[in-house]
Every structure is written in structure tokens, then in C-alpha cells.
Amino acid sequence: MEKQLHLNLLASRPPVPGGLQSGSKMRMGPGRKRDFSPLSWSQYFETMEDVEVENDNGKDISFTAEIYSSGQHGPVLLLLHGGGHSALSWAVFTEVIYNRINCRVVAMDLRAHGDTKVKNSDDLSAETMAKDIGKVVEALYGENPPPIMMIGHSMGGAIAVHTAAANHVPSLLGLCVIDVVEGTAMDALNSMQNFLRSRPKTFKSVENAIEWSVKSGQIRNVESARVSMGGQVKKCEEPLNSPGVSKSIGEVIIEEEEEEEEEGESNHKRKKEDDQEVKKESLYTWQIDLSKTEKYWEGWFSGLSALFLSCPVPKLLLLAGVDRLDKDLTIGQMQGKFQMQVLPQCGHAVHEDAPEKVSGSTFALSSA
């Protein structure tokens, strides 16, 4: 039996009768072409709204946060996405966990991401982004917010820790951090620019972006990619006709799995034809240029382990691999300061690749 979260604040819902569970994967038969068409947010969230957040002086609007939510009662699960992603990365997870427990789910586009509008979008410091979270919670719930559990992935996990440590969410009842560890993150910063340069700069369509995300392994769950990638890309303001643009797209699309190997030749021919068409169409590019945020990277992750361990609420660390654990967290975990679970066979986007497993782990956060 699944154990409940924090003094039984989260009660389980009756199981959904019949049919496939949300987030489950359907195996395509041989020769079946996978569907990479976009899916709407409305299939996973009940509402989408713009929440205006005032400046400290209470006179002007500081920024307008894009909020996706489900549920009207119970504790709040506040979901923070990773760098370059958007609130839509939580879509499939939201449907899964909302059908499992009685809660409210709130996923927000962080500043400079998705459809959140902010006057100073260049300020992505951990301090500013943590304050944003507190201001959004206040705008949503006033001075007496309901019990809130924060769940953050990658950069969003780091921001969740900074938010908790600064007590910007006074009603915080739990903290779940997904696949971000100080030691590993700091080590990876030196190669981050090379990684960003290795990604295609443009896509000929949202479908093309979805296809790339799946075949490159960025997102291993096709359903999640179909709703998530729409929040990661936007139409280019001006058509790009550089000869190198279409080539970068074709190069990163890798071959299908074994059952599609026989289609290799026709796929290769199709890619060449697509590459020629790219120059004639409106292109899509990344919603945010992460390479320009480099000056904030160290601030997101430096000292993160100590901050995480200092947060006086039940804590869960979900990792895609045990090798990601650093020294401070290893000691803290041995001392029982937080719970940890490793979800193998997942990529970095753990909550997208395995929403059912992440939902189950979240549900049991405060159980011993």
C-alpha cells in the first residue's frame, strides 16, 4: 500500500477504471511510424492563467507568470522546470499524480522561460528566481498559503532549494529535487557551452523539434515530448537562410530503433528533401538562449548540497544514476537527513521519462 505524505495531508484517489494509465508507453508494432505531432496543454492541466506579480512597492507589475494548474482542494504541489524547459515538461506527470492523490498541482514558467513575461529577463540569478517563487505563491494564495510541496528538476531543483532555504514559502511541507547534485553540476559547467553548441540551432517545425528530442535522447517518453517541446521552442522572428542551418538539423536526427532500420534509406532521402524545404519555411528556435546565462550557472549550483541539507522539511532526492551523489550528500544520506531514490533507465528528464515512478516516489516522501 502506498504511504501518504506528511501527516496524511495527501489522500489517495480511487484508481482510474480501465484503459491505459496516463504516462504509460505503447509499443509500436514493426513498420508503424511514431507520431511526433504536438499535444495541447489542456489534455493534462485544467487551467492556464497569467498571474500578475507586483513590485515590492505594490504599485507596478514586476512580471506576469504563466501558470498551469489542476485541482481546487488539498495541499499544493509546486513544480519548477529545468533550464530551457517550461511548465509543460510537467504535463504528463501532473495528469498521473492528480489522478492518484487529492491535491492541487501548480506548474509555472520561470522567468525568461515559456510564456512568463518579465521586465528584466536577463536577471536569472538564484536569488532573483527564488524571490519570484515566493511572490507567485503570495499572488496566488495571499498571506496564508496552503501547505506546499516544491518539486524541482535540474535548474528548477536548485531554485527550489534556494527558495526553501530563504523561507520564501513559509508553508513549505516538503522538498523534492530531481537529478541535480552540486558536485556533478559544477563539474559539468566547463562542458556546458559545448553541449549547447552541439544542439541544432533551428527546427523546421515543432514536430521536427519533438522528433529530435526523442531521437537524441533528451526526452525518452514520446508522449511527454509531444506536449513539452512546444514550450521549449518558438518561431524565429526572421527567416534564417544560412546554408549551415538545415544541415545541423539533419545531422542530429539519429536513426529509428531496430524495428525501423529497414526504413533507413527512405528516411535518409526524406531528411535531404526536408533540409531543402527548411530554407523556404518559417523556422523554430529555442525559447531561451541558455548560452547567454552562463554567468548565473555557478550561483545556481555552488553550495547547493549544504543548502539542501539545511532545509528543515522532509526532503527527497531523485536521481537518474547513483554516480551523481557527491560527498556531502553521501554523508547526509547515511545520516538519514533525506530520502533518496535512483530511477535507472531514465535520462536527465526523469519526471518526463518515468512520470509514474516519480509520482509514486513523491507520494511517499515523508514515509519511513
The two beta strands, 284-286 and 233-235, are: antiparallel
Distance CA 135, CA 133 (A): 5
Alpha carbons 132 and 263: distance in angstroms, whole number:
48
- The whole-angstrom separation of Cα 153 and Cα 83 is 9
Q: Which three cell numbers stand for residue 55?
A: 513590485
- Beta partners for residue 284, in sequence order: 203, 235
Single out the catalytic residue among 81, 113, 168, 348.
348
The yes-or-no answer on residue 310 being catalytic is no
Buried b (16+ CB within 10 A) or exposed e, 209-234: bbbbbbbeebbbbbbbbbbbbbbbbe
Known catalytic membership, residue 323: no
Q: What distance in Å separates the CA atoms of residue 294 and residue 194, rounded to the nearest whole number?
A: 12
Our answer to whether residue 348 is catalytic in this structure is yes
- Active-site hit among 168, 179, 224, 366: 179
Buried b vs exposed e over 119-149: b needs ≥16 C-beta within 10 Å? eeeeebebebbbbbbbbbbbebbeeebbbbb
Q: What is the rounded distance in angstroms from the CA atom of residue 86 to the CA atom of residue 80? A: 8
Q: Helix or strand or coil: residue 83?
A: coil
3-class DSSP state of 59: coil
Burial of 279 (0-12, 13-18, 19+ CB in 10 A): middle
- Alpha-carbon gap, residue 148 to 133, rounded angstroms: 12
Q: Is the distance from CB of 110 to CB of 157 less than 8 angstroms?
A: no
Catalytic one of 89, 154, 224, 359: 154
Residues designated catalytic:
154, 179, 348
